Amino acid sequence: MSSVLFQRDIRLHRLNTFGLPARAAWFAAVDSLERLAALIATPEWRYLQRLVLGGGSNVILTGDFDGLVLHARIPGRALVGEDQEAWLVRAGAGEPWHEFVCWTLEQGWPGLENLALIPGTVGASPIQNIGAYGLELAQRFQGLEAVDLATGELRAFDRDACGFGYRDSVFKREAANRFLIASVTFRLPKRWTPVTGYAELARELEAAKIEKPTARQIADAVVAVRSRKLPDPAQIGNAGSFFKNPVVDAAAFAEFIARYPGAPHYPQPDGAVKLAAGWLIERCGWKGKWFGAVGVYDKQALVLVNRGGARGQDVLRLARSIQESVLDEFGVVLEPEPVVV
Ligand code: EPU
């Protein structure tokens, strides 16, 4: 029974968008809840350390994993309900995110268009509360179902239970490695208003002479902007933004902006200010620099890239050097965005 469920000694380089080499001692594809239940019932389950992988677009693998990699592949997408304000649309964790977004738009359910072309799967999207061009997943989130890997129990999480923050949720904190997200349900507004406040997106729509964009036109504009600035993981290994944009308090910001008057910044509702990590890194001279197989992307300094042959440790070494120089120059701590395994 278990030999059918588990594979042994599997290479993971194609299962992470950075293309980093690593092997999993044990590996299992999870394409249904039944299959997961069968895995949990095996004797091996109890002694294996576990790692859940989705699209592998937000993970840095630093070496071989001695435990069990669970590859979340549960499929499915459907309208599961509606009320006066919204359509409720559910997708299985294994659905590729961008394909799901395109499908919702084809069905006439707007709301996810600003998040077009983000790599990865639906199941991973709440973990880091994906966001782009003025919208965060949390704003369209209804709930999710996840299996507690310790007990096998299926649990429902509403928005509060997910504890969303900027590129953050309980699944990156106290609940890390404990759950396998099975499906996510989105709340897509019937009275839709376009979110076009992000300067670059607004410029893109203006250049195309679109005044009242449809959701599809916003998705197209987002795809155009992203394709210009962010590397396609199918062409060159990367995990999107490598660091979060740092948030500093009002006093630190006053000092910072006096020294660097033109620096991009985004005031937060609580008086703190978010700085642009890409700008800080570029100012320290890293943009477009290569160190063997790893480098800093030449069109967006917040993205580290692997042109082939990099190992996780090479990526971390570069990341640490960048953190040190940004701390020296600006007194600002950069926190990595992807999960380091
Ligand atoms: N900037 C530079 N140099 C650079 C990169 C950026 O000066 O090399 C400046 C830009 O000119 C701009 C500011 O920094 O004034 C912000 O840059 P950008 O609009 O490219 O966005 P970002 O803050 O670097 C964030 C998200 C992205 C998301 C974009 C668009 C984070 C960590 N990253 O990047 O998300 O696509 O905004 O909303 O919040 C991801 O999380 O993986 C990701 C790609």
Give tens-digit pLDDT for 130-145: 999 999 999 999 999 9
- Which 8-state DSSP code applies to residue 304? E
Q: What is the DSSP letter of 167?
A: T
**Mean pLDDT, rounded, for 40-69:** 96
Instruction: Give the separation between CA 95 and CA 29, rounded to whole angstroms.
Output: 14
Closest CA to 307 of 316, 317, 296, 318: 296
Centre of ligand 1 to C-alpha 278, Å, is 6
Is any ligand 1 atom within 6 A of the Cβ of residue 265?
no
Q: Give the pairing of strands 65-72 and 23-30.
A: parallel
- Ligand 1 pocket, mutate which of 115, 130, 241, 298 (most atoms under 8 A from CB): 241
Whole-angstrom distance, CA of residue 45 vs CA of residue 282: 46
Q: Is 169 in the pocket of ligand 1 (CB under 6 A)?
A: no
Evaluate if residue 159 carries a pLDDT over 60.
Answer: yes
Buried-state track 103-142, b at ≥16 Cβ within 10 A, e below 16: ebbeeebbbbbbbbbbbbbbbbbbbbbbbbbbbbbbbbbb
Residue 48 neighbours by CB distance under 10 Å: 18
The total of other beta-carbon atoms located within 10 Å of residue 228's CB is: 11
CB-CB contact of 147 with 182 (8 Å): yes
Return the DSSP state at 331. -
pLDDT tens string 79-127: 999 999 999 999 999 999 999 999 999 999 999 999 999 999 999 999 9
Asked whether 240 lines ligand 1 (CB < 6 A), one says yes
Q: Per residue in 187-222, is it b (16+ CB within 10 Å) or e — as a string? A: bbeeeeebbbebeebeebbeeeebeebebebbbbbb
Cα-to-centroid distance, 238 and ligand 1 (Å): 15
pLDDT tens figures, 293-315 = 999 999 999 999 999 999 999 99
State in Å: Cα 50 to ligand 1 middle: 32
> What pLDDT, on the 0 to 100 scale, is given for residue 111?
98
> Measuring from atom 2 of ligand 1, which residue has the nearest CA?
279
CA-nearest residue for atom 40, ligand 1, is 241
Of 196, 170, 179, 188, give the one whose Cα is nearest residue 54. Answer: 179
Mean pLDDT computed over 30-42: 97
Instruction: Show which residues are catalytic.
Output: 167, 241, 337
Average pLDDT over residues 275-283: 98
pTM: 0.96
Q: Which residue has the CA at smallest separation from atom 19 of ligand 1?
A: 200
**pLDDT of residue 242 exceeding 90:** yes
Instruction: Return the pLDDT at 4.
Output: 77
Ligand 1 atom nearest to CA at 130? 41
Does residue 133's CB lie within 6 angstroms of at least one atom of ligand 1? yes
> Atom 33, ligand 1: which residue's CA is nearest?
241
The answer for residues whose C-beta is within 8 angstroms of residue 225's C-beta and 6 or more apart is 133, 200, 201, 204
- Whether 300 lines ligand 1, by a CB cut-off of 6 Å, is yes
How close is the Cα of 269 to the center of ligand 1, in Å?
20
> Which residue has the least CA distance to atom 9 on ligand 1?
279
CA of 241 to the centre of ligand 1 (A): 7
Grade residue 3 by pLDDT with cuts at 50, 70 and 90: low
Element housing 290 (H / E): strand 290-291
Among 242, 252, 260, smallest CA distance to 332 is for 252
- Which residue from 118, 169, 247, 279 has its CB within 8 A of the most atoms of ligand 1, so it is best to mutate? 279
* Lookup: tokens for 286: 């890293």
Residue 140, sorted as left (phi over 0), alpha (psi -120 to 50) or beta, turns out to be alpha
Q: State what percent of residues in the chain have pLDDT above 70.
A: 99
pLDDT digit string, tens, across residues 169-197: 999 999 999 999 999 999 999 999 999 99
